[in-house]
Amino acid sequence: MTYDVTLASPTLAQEPNGTLLAAGKDKTSLRRELKRRRRNLSMQAQQLAARKLCAQLKKLPEIQRARRISLYLPLNGEIDPTPLLPWLYRRGVKVYLPVLRPLADNTLWFVAYRPDTPMVKNRYRIWEPAAQFSAHRRNRLPPWALDTMLVPLVGFDAKANRMGMGGGYYDRTLAFVRHRRPAPRLMGVAHACQEVNSLPVEPWDIPLSAIVTDQGVIRPTPLRTNDIYANERIRISQ
Ligand SMILES: Nc1nc2c(c(=O)[nH]1)N(C=O)[C@@H](CNc1ccc(C(=O)N[C@@H](CCC(=O)O)C(=O)O)cc1)CN2
Ligand SMILES: Nc1ncnc2c1ncn2[C@@H]1O[C@H](COP(=O)(O)OP(=O)(O)OP(=O)(O)O)[C@@H](O)[C@H]1O
């Protein structure tokens, strides 16, 4: 299936600012292209982006207020949120990592990440707390008990729509948000170069509170009708 987006453009084209035009691309090839982009960043570019991301994060009220936060350990060019760790530990924030649940329902556990947490590589070669540690309930939190989550993104658009790795892990784990409150504040994180002009919204997508990149913060836009009314009011009052 290909997605109909507003800008009709040749596939793989870029806008002058480097934004990938998603028009006419199916989700799988768009995901592949975006993963290639972040993997191709040099080590220096990665380190600079990670530092800038963390500077952005530290300024946000959601992060300043966080007491129980989940982040992730990056792989294959994902932007690295771990420079935030010393700052979080200093502030006494409890830090959790996603762990693939052993019973293969494709959801995640959130397990405490401390300097002494035993770690192993999971089936995707991502480091995560070891099974014997994660098995203890005292070492993990149900997702609704987290106040803030940093959600790794493969792609995003200016309306704060997201695309992940395609396993549906975050969407399934966060499905409770539709009927249970309070919910964690969901902060998508990505390299600025992972922006595309438009992404499809799937029925199971859980909306993000914000997207934070090395270049700035994107909040979901208010309804288009509000913009129209706002413009209308300005015009009428003139
Ligand atoms: N760093 C990090 N940790 C994370 C996630 C993530 O996106 N990033 N996840 C977010 O959901 C979960 C893992 N989800 C994943 C879903 C699909 C693939 C995947 O398709 N990987 C390979 C191909 C499969 C393989 O190597 O066996 C690929 O990149 O093509 C990886 C992780 C939990 N932990
Ligand atoms: N709540 C849910 N229950 C069952 N299946 C779900 C749910 N949410 C998502 N899925 C499935 O997960 C798969 C992946 O979806 P999608 O391509 O939107 O992933 P994504 O945007 O990369 O998100 P994620 O970061 O969660 O992987 C889809 O096949 C979808 O049917």
Check pocket membership of 190 for ligand 1, CB cut-off 6 A: no
Is 2 assigned a ligand-binding role in the annotation?
no
Query: What is the token pair recorded at 90?
Result: 């200093």
Going from N- to C-terminal start, the domains of the chain cover 27-229
Ligand 2 centre distance from Cα of residue 180 (Å): 19
Q: What is the per-residue pLDDT for 213? A: 98
Is 78 assigned a ligand-binding role in the annotation?
yes
Asked if pLDDT for residue 233 goes beyond 80, the answer is no
Asked if pLDDT for residue 162 goes beyond 60, the answer is yes
The tens digit of pLDDT for each residue in 50-71 reads 999 999 999 999 999 999 999 9
Is 92 assigned a ligand-binding role in the annotation?
no
Ligand 2 centre distance from Cα of residue 16 (Å): 31
Pick the CATH number of 27-229 from 3.40.50.10420, 3.30.70.100, 3.40.50.150, 2.40.160.60: 3.40.50.10420
Side-chain-side CA neighbours of 57 within 13 Å: the count stands at: 31
Helix (H, G, I), strand (E, B) or coil at 110: strand
Ligand 2 centre distance from Cα of residue 30 (Å): 16
> Which residues lie below 8 Å from residue 59, measured CB to CB, with a gap of 6+?
none
Q: Where are the beta strands (DSSP E) in 6-132?
A: 68-70, 94-100, 108-112, 119-121, 127-129
Ligand 1 centre distance from Cα of residue 107 (Å): 12
pLDDT band at 103; cut points 50, 70, 90: confident
Q: What is the per-residue pLDDT for 26? A: 86
Check pocket membership of 74 for ligand 1, CB cut-off 6 A: yes
- The protein residue whose alpha carbon is closest to atom 1 in ligand 2 is 172
Strands 119-121 and 217-218: unpaired
Counting residues of the chain whose pLDDT is more than 70, the rounded percentage is 83
pLDDT band at 228; cut points 50, 70, 90: very low
Instruction: Enter the DSSP assignment of 153.
Output: -
Is 90 assigned a ligand-binding role in the annotation?
no
Asked if pLDDT for residue 232 goes beyond 80, the answer is no
Averaged pLDDT for residues 103-131: 96
Which atom of ligand 1 is the closest one to the Cα of 75? 1
